[in-house]
Structure 1
Amino acid sequence: METDMTRGNPLPIILKFTLPLLMGNIFQQLYNMVDTIIVGRFVGPDALAAVGSTGTIMFLVIGFSQGMSTGFTVLTSQRFGAGDENGAKRSVANGILLSFFVVVLMTVLSLFFMETLLRAMNTPENIFEDAYTYISIICMGIAANVFYNLFSSYLRSVGNSRIPLMFLMFSASLNVVLDLVFIINFKMGVAGAAWATNLSQGISAVLCISYIYKKVPVLTPKSHHWRLNETDTKRQLSVGIPMALQFGITASGTIIMQSAVNLFGSTAVAAYTAANKFQGMVLQGMVAMGQTMATYSGQNYGKGDIKRIRHGVRLVLGTGVVYSVLSSVIVCLILPYALRLFFSGNVDIGEMLPWAKTYIYLCAIFYIPLGMIFIFRNTMQGCGYGFLPMLGGVVELAARLVTAALSIRLLSFPLACACDPAAWTSAGLFTAISYIYIMKKVEKNREISSSV
């Protein structure tokens, strides 16, 4: 069911759209979280550290691919908001064709450079083989990940956030079953966890494609749409490339941070991994609000209602502050109990807890600027502006680079953990200023076009 976000009271519409996204994002997180829990409990803490040490690389490779393909759907959202059904169909076909090129390129490059990247990240030798096995298999499944995210983004671009959630819930459940079968029954270790993730996401992609072709005619291209259109390609790449680079730049910063954490040994890596996964689950509300604002701003930008975009952003910012404060309290209170999910009974949680607390307590103070990043960045991207959000990623990278360099030089774990807060604070300020500039520019362009 499509949702027109260009009319009605913005906040109820935004929250109604955000809730399925939040649930979907939580299930998306379960793909990796379940991997780490099952690996940690049934294979061992070193295997958990191996899977965790590749998380930043996954964010780089998968995030770059997803950023590119998700950027392709912004044009679809704008045309749906403008009532241009033929243009929406054409943009869908064009985005699919461009995504095939992205998948081939990213799969080949990631597999070719993976060993070198793991070495450069100071991956401990006792977990290197498992880390290489896990991330290589994940990279073989880039196609499944990209096309699931592409088609679910197409559904969200026309206001449908419920159907992707349903498919994701099914696939997340399947992922748990496959994890248990591959790891416990077939003794496949970290390879089993990776194959379970790829298969589950592949099924999500197939389900999304089937639903679109049967139920959503506005997203179903006709035969004459299946060719690369020069105008659409330029517009989609103008958003997709900056979004991909923004993901890639941000991920590069997290890789630098992971390199600093890796210096403190596999115990620190395992504790950091578990804490980071738990935090990621709690913070999915911020991600969902950002995704909602991409669709909301895209549709209203297509209609030309800039005042409504501003109003929606103000409402979501207030909601985001409340969510950030509650999240800070939750992660600090529940961390000791959540940590036990990731390890079997013979692992000394007391040894893990100090490392995990250091990371979580530092991060929890800075959730408000993190929430601002998601809201401002996605709003600008929904309006078709990708360059300044990409520069926000550069700001994050610089902050993480400086903090990580200090951590490595001083051999300070708290400084390594401070990479995230430093990045969030600096990028939050930058994206806020960028948003103000972009909205003034958008309003000025609208005034000029309306006067012609």
Structure 2
Amino acid sequence: MAKNLTTGSPLKLIVLFTLPLLVGNVFQQAYAVADTIVVGRMIGVQALAAVGASASLQFLLFGFAMGCSAGLAIPVSRFYGAGDLAGMRRAVAMGALVSASVAVFITVVGVLGAPLLLHLLGTPAELVPSATVFLRVFFAGSIATTAFNYLSSVIRALGDSTTPLLFLVLASVLNVALVVLFVGPMDTGVGGAALATVLAQLMSALLCLVLVWRRMPELHVRRSDFVLDVRQLRESARLGFTLGFQMSIIAMGAALLQFGINGLGSTAVAAFTTAMRVDQMAVIPLASVGVAMATFVAQNAGAGQWDRILVGVRKAMMMAIGMSILLGLLIFLFGTQLVEVFVGPGEPEVVSMSHQYLVVNSALYAVLAVLFICRHTIQGLGSTLAPTLAGVLELVARGIVGIFLVKHLGFLGVIIAAPAAWVLALVPLVIAWRGHRRVLQGRVLQSSKPTPVVPDVVPVA
């Protein structure tokens, strides 16, 4: 249920909030992992490459939806931290309107534009039919995925990261069962794998609605809450669209990189797809701490607890860097075995290329850890300029690599793309955080100054 993050040990609260996010993100990635393993093992590497060729487009549109949901939840956290439940409900209502418009946009663009978008990415001709089917089914279920992202973000904004985890666990089990059924006995191909994910997301969204209705009365919006509040709608749209745009910029960079990879052939596409699945699972702990920081910072900003923000950021940074070192070591030791889970031992070239990718990327996970903490902390404070600039720089880095370096360096260019993007994006975030930290330190000093006592003036007779 709802949990106030403005009192108690900052590190303990961040850890307790992060753990369900961590497990939940693992299960959320299990959707993609289940698709990849089943498609790769039961249909073949060609089908795996088709799913991989569509990954950047999924990230482009659903990345926007996920970023938008995170942004829409920031005012909810701030109002909740300030104890303003009426303002919180208005923020939830305005966010729901924005989220619904995003779902409609994704559905129309994704379903109608899939073949054209794949063509613009230079997708190998033999992969286009299967990739188109996968994308159209996936995007036809946009309303379910967007609804779950928004509802779970709002629930987490109130400090409850555990219940969405339970829903993800149930949905992940359903997804695995359905993808095996659809791709195996029912022989529905890659379209069945996409349908399994959509149905699992739909169940998660429905469970979130049931939770809000039965257990979270503070989120029961009324008809009056949907009366147009221009100021609140503008703020929700600003944060939502800005964070969504940031994710889309990153996805555009991934799409440009995918363009370069597609030119290397199906083996390179399959290797990149497999490596990305493992990489995404590995960085979940780092991403989870970042998401936790956005809620922690927003609630404490609403309550004016500036010192807690500084303490929380410092301790979370140390924890994330420690985790990044451990994760890098695990990837170095067991990367080959992890890759073989997806494609089996019969694809040595795919396994070798994937492992090289993972070793180089995992060596720089500490950079990614600092990036996540800085980005989400700044977003939790309601600032969007530096994170947006960081996204643009990621786009530039991945675009240069995808268009130019991959052509000349081959798969080596693919390997260095992500680290180059992380390093470049980190620059404006570190500069911005140093500025925010000085402001917060000033507020702490100001709030700690004792109020001067004015002595009573005794009138002279």
Short-chain TM bin? over 0.9
Normalised by the size of structure 2, how large is the TM-score?
A: 0.94
- Which SS does the other structure have where 1:159 is aligned? coil
**Residue of structure 1 equivalent to 2:372:** 374
Contact 1:182 1:192 in 2 (8 A): yes
Distance 1:318 1:450, change over 3 A: closer
**Which one-letter code corresponds to 2:251 in the other structure?**
A
**Residue of structure 2 equivalent to 1:290:** 290
Q: In 2, distance between residues paired with 1:450 and 1:224?
A: 40
Deviation at 1:429, TM superposition (A): 2.6
Deviation at 1:114, TM superposition (A): 2.1
Contact 1:115 1:132 in 2 (8 A): yes
**Residue of structure 1 equivalent to 2:408:** 410
Q: In 2, distance between residues paired with 1:391 and 1:438?
A: 16
Q: Give deviations 1:355-377, integer Å, cap 9, x for gaps.
A: 11221122112111111111111
**Residue of structure 2 equivalent to 1:166:** 166
**Residue of structure 2 equivalent to 1:50:** 50
Distance 1:385 1:140, change over 3 A: same
Deviation at 1:411, TM superposition (A): 4.4
Q: In 2, distance between residues paired with 1:281 and 1:422?
A: 20
Unaligned runs of 5+ in 2: 450-461
**Which one-letter code corresponds to 1:16 in the other structure?**
L
Aligned pairs for 1:56-135 (under 5 A) are: 56-135=56-135
Contact 1:366 1:425 in 2 (8 A): no
Contact 2:95 2:237 in 1 (8 A): no
Aligned pairs for 1:173-188 (under 5 A) are: 173-188=173-188
Instruction: Please say which structure displays the higher CA radius of gyration.
Output: 2
Aligned pairs for 1:39-438 (under 5 A) are: 39-343=39-343, 348-438=346-436
Q: In 2, distance between residues paired with 1:353 and 1:255?
A: 23
Distance 1:70 1:242, change over 3 A: same
Deviation at 1:333, TM superposition (A): 1.6
Deviation at 1:263, TM superposition (A): 1.6
Q: Percent identity?
A: 35
Q: In 1, distance between residues paired with 2:427 and 2:337?
A: 34
- Which SS does the other structure have where 1:73 is aligned? helix
**Which one-letter code corresponds to 1:403 in the other structure?**
V
Normalised by the size of structure 1, how large is the TM-score?
A: 0.95
- Which SS does the other structure have where 1:7 is aligned? coil
- Which SS does the other structure have where 2:2 is aligned? coil
Q: Give deviations 1:113-151, integer Å, cap 9, x for gaps.
A: 322221122211221111111112111111111110111
Q: Give deviations 1:399-443, integer Å, cap 9, x for gaps.
A: 112222332441421012211010011112321112222344566
Deviation at 1:351, TM superposition (A): 2.0
Contact 1:304 1:446 in 2 (8 A): no
Deviation at 1:4, TM superposition (A): 1.3
Deviation at 1:229, TM superposition (A): 1.5
Contact 2:298 2:381 in 1 (8 A): yes
Q: In 2, distance between residues paired with 1:93 and 1:257?
A: 37
Deviation at 1:448, TM superposition (A): 9.8
Deviation at 1:391, TM superposition (A): 1.0
Contact 2:336 2:352 in 1 (8 A): no
Deviation at 1:353, TM superposition (A): 1.9
Deviation at 1:450, TM superposition (A): 12
Deviation at 1:89, TM superposition (A): 1.3
Contact 2:40 2:343 in 1 (8 A): yes
**Which one-letter code corresponds to 1:302 in the other structure?**
G
Contact 2:182 2:193 in 1 (8 A): yes
Distance 1:152 1:221, change over 3 A: same
Distance 1:78 1:179, change over 3 A: same
Q: What is the number of equivalent residue pairs in this alignment?
A: 449
Contact 1:42 1:344 in 2 (8 A): no
Q: Show structure 1 runs of 4+ deviating over 4 A.
A: 441-451
**Residue of structure 1 equivalent to 2:459:** none
- Which SS does the other structure have where 2:227 is aligned? coil
Contact 1:155 1:161 in 2 (8 A): yes
Distance 1:448 1:112, change over 3 A: farther
- Which SS does the other structure have where 2:184 is aligned? helix
Q: Give deviations 1:32-70, integer Å, cap 9, x for gaps.
A: 110000000101110011111111111110011221232
Q: In 1, distance between residues paired with 2:439 and 2:240?
A: 21
Q: Give deviations 1:320-377, integer Å, cap 9, x for gaps.
A: 11111111111122221112221256xx232212211221122112111111111111
Deviation at 1:218, TM superposition (A): 1.3
Contact 1:97 1:228 in 2 (8 A): no
